[in-house]
Amino acid sequence: MPLTVLPSTTQVLPSVCALDCPDACSLRITVENGKVTKLAGDPDHPITQGFACVKMARYPERQEQADRLLYPMKRVGEKGEGRFERISWEQAIEEIARRTGQILASAGGDSILPYHYAGTMGVIEGQMPLAFFRRIGAVELDQTICAATGGTAWEMNYGPNKLSTDPEDLIHARYVVLWGINALRSNSHLAPVLKIARQNGARILHIDPYRNETSRFADEHWQIRVGTDTALALAIANEIFRNGWEDVDYLNRFAHGIEEFRRACEPWTLERASEYCDIPLENLTRMVRAFATSAAPFIKVGYGMTRNESGGNAIRAVTLLPALVGAWKKLGGGAALSTSGAFGLHTAAVNGNGDYPPSSRHVNMNLLASELTAEPTRVHGLFVFNSNPAAVAPDSSRVRRGLAREDLFTVVLEHFQTDTADFADYLLPATTFLEHHDVYTSYGHYYLQYSEPVVAPRGEARPNSWIFRKIAGAMDIEVRPFEMDRDQILKALLASSNPWLAGIDAERLKSEKSIKLQFPSEFRPYADGSHFPDRKIRFSPPPAQLEFEEQLSDSFPLRLISPPGSHILNTSMGNVASILKLAGGEPQMVIHPADALARGIVDGERATVSSPTGSIVRRVRVSDEAKEGVVVALGQWWPKLAPDRKSLNDITSERLTDLGGGSTFGNVAVQVTRMEPSRLQLEK
């Protein structure tokens, strides 16, 4: 009997990137015969401008990988072995609900910990599960691992709601400082705007201890000493005061504590900062004049500069500089950390905040290792979604030790069998962003976006919200947000008093997919002062340069930083073959030639990196891209794919930042040693 050849179908459908990146790209997805074959940037979107980053261009490979989790799984081996058997959704939901109920009855809601972060930036699939946990009185997780320090610092200066210069206005900037950010890789859609600004006469300075793509793009690069950003900013401010370049009128109207700030800056002369920060004095002198007298000075700060013990003070000091010279009044001037405060969606409608009283017990997510290994323990149930703590949490070897507890009931929602998934009692297949609808804000621009599924879920994958709705139903508890359908959810999110959402309703958002917030023309967020009731920008208490508690020593004389890799996005793309090949096939670190020579380390071989917390093995690249005395570990890799099956975070600690309780991944004291020749041979 002859085979019937069915006609092939090809569609190009709109979507929105859900990964943790400020660009929140509008996408065009090619679907052929029900499979994703291509991902491209939306050519009509003012931010995305038709291109996707190197990571997301390979997302179709991830979407269609053979090792995707497709069915609910139940553990059959020891925790950490990663051995599971397939079960039905009905069995999984019933057994998870029963065990959760038993924990609630015996130990109470505050013995259940939801661990989650930015595996998806979608509002619905990121926030809706929280309604379930608030309904049962579970622990509140403080999401501090990335943005908390910077956000706390910004709001200390400028008041509630983090706002930034509109990135579309940066074509008007005339002096641009990219401070502590590899913008070409972690905010890549700034590049076209900055190119136009440069054509219009702007000069671009990059400040970063690691020389990278952005350094080469910039007109000038300063390889600053790690953790001295506050001192540099105070010295710049001091020189501005000394030359009378501050905007006196703006400060008289909108500054609080300016004289106290001036006095705090006085000890930081350019000469002192030059030596302390390791930046040539002539470069400093030239920069201050150019910045202070520019027609539109602008500073883009990255979260990387916050990940040390003085990171909060650093953000405060650096982001006060535009206010000092009145840059917020100028089109294209000002600063940018995050735009997230502009959206003001009514998220309480979906996350249960308001419907249910929050737990009095909070856990800082950076302290997960201590929480899971405490004696006696308070955590008896752990639900992990949108995160991979066995790889990304500080002191991750101790995290894995806690995950291995037989008395810890663990449920993991995932796309793949990550290191965290290996410890699950139940492993549940979650949909990707291409398989469910969601709403997206951004922390890098001002477009509110909506996406619908472009393909059906693979196998029996289900959205996070569906999974927790089913668990709640099996426990016979009502969770009010779960009673809403899709349209009701959209309407509830948009039922906000935020004037910038005026005219944006559910039908329009579904139809247009991407809508810019309704700003007045030439939006300048702090031209009329801060968002405190008195409109005063807080220069007081003045930021201070703090010395690290984790000091360098003879045992640990180098400073390790861990910026995002060019191809790895945290662990989200950590098992995509083409991505791993581009990233060198295994995790790498960059070390300065002088530091390598002193240790007998040769480019391309593996070495041991040790800290007071632990040790790991990494492939070495010898290059002066790393500042002397600094080790640069590029990107987060799955531990199981590293040569020693360890995470970079096996050598980081739970030490917290000065503000916001953030992580200190950027000031780890380490030693690097050459491996024994016999072991080197084995490792090759």
Mean pLDDT confidence for 126-142? 98
List the one residue out of 502, 389, 499, 484 whose CA is nearest residue 118.
Answer: 389
Nearest by Cα to 14 from 344, 437, 454:
454
Q: What is the predicted pLDDT for the residue at 566?
A: 78
What is the distance between the terminal CA atoms of the chain, rounded to a whole angstrom? Answer: 55
Least confident of 76-90, 107-121, 140-154, 346-360: 346-360
**Residue 480: both structure tokens together:** 């009010």
Percentage of the chain lying above the pLDDT 70 cut: 98
Q: pLDDT tens-digit profile of 547-564? A: 999 999 999 999 999 998
d(CA 563, CA 587): 13
Question: Would you place residue 680 in the very low, low, confident or very high pLDDT band (cuts 50, 70, 90)?
Answer: very low
The b/e string for 225-255 (b: 16+ C-beta within 10 A; e otherwise) is bbbbbbbbbbbbbbbbbeeebbbeebbeebb
Question: Side-chain half-sphere of 45: how many Cα atoms within 13 Å?
Answer: 30
How does pLDDT run across 332-353, given as a tens digit for each residue? 999 999 999 999 999 999 999 9
pLDDT exceeds 50 at position 5: no
Q: How far apart are CA 469 and CA 124, in angstroms?
A: 13
Close Cβ partners of 86 (under 8 Å, ≥ 6 residues apart): 71, 72, 73
Sign of the torsion angle spanned by Cα atoms 160, 125, 16, 386: positive
pTM to 2 decimals?
Answer: 0.96
- In which residue are the tokens 């790889």 written? 391
Q: Where are the alpha helices (DSSP H) in 362-444?
A: 368-373, 389-392, 396-403
Mean pLDDT on 264-287:
99
Checking if the pLDDT of 173 tops 70, the result is yes
Q: Look at residue 569 in the predicted model and tell me its pLDDT.
A: 75
pLDDT recorded at residue 165: 98
Report pLDDT for 679.
54
Write out the two tokens for 510. Answer: 């579904």
Q: How confident is the model at residue 573 (pLDDT cuts 50, 70, 90)?
A: confident
Residue 225, amino acid: R
Both tokens of 373, joined, read 């290994």
Read off the amino acid at residue 606. Answer: R
Task: Tell me how far apart the alpha carbons of residues 384 and 395 are, in angstroms, rounded to a whole number.
Answer: 18
Cα angle 573-578-584, degrees, rounded to a multiple of 5: 90
322 pLDDT above the threshold of 60: yes
CA 651/CA 81 separation, integer angstroms: 23
The conformational region for residue 177 under phi > 0 = left, psi -120 to 50 = alpha, else beta, is beta
Give yes or no for a contact between 343 and 494, defined as CB atoms under 8 angstroms apart. Answer: no
Hunting for tokens 């990663």 — which residue is that? 82
User: Is residue 684 predicted with pLDDT exceeding 90?
Assistant: no
Taking only the tens place, the pLDDT of each residue in 448-489 is 999 999 999 999 999 999 999 999 999 999 999 999 999 999
- Going by pLDDT thresholds of 50, 70 and 90, the confidence category of residue 95 is very high
Integer Cα distance of 561 and 565 in angstroms: 12
| pLDDT over threshold 70, residue 440 | yes
Mean pLDDT for all residues in the chain: 96
Confidence check: pLDDT of 683 > 70? no
Q: What integer is the mean pLDDT of 100-117? A: 98
Please work out, in degrees rounded to the nearest 5, the angle formed at the alpha carbon of residue 375 by the alpha carbons of 372 and 378.
Answer: 55
Confidence of residue 571 (pLDDT cuts 50, 70, 90): confident
Of the candidates 236, 210, 235, 234, the residue with the CA atom closest to the CA atom of residue 221: 210
Q: How many of the other CB atoms lie within 10 Å of CB of 515?
A: 17
Q: Report DSSP state, residue 235.
A: H
**What are the structural domains, with CATH classification, of the chain?**
10-63 (3.30.200.210), 73-145+344-516 (3.40.50.740), 149-337 (3.40.228.10), 558-683 (2.40.40.20)
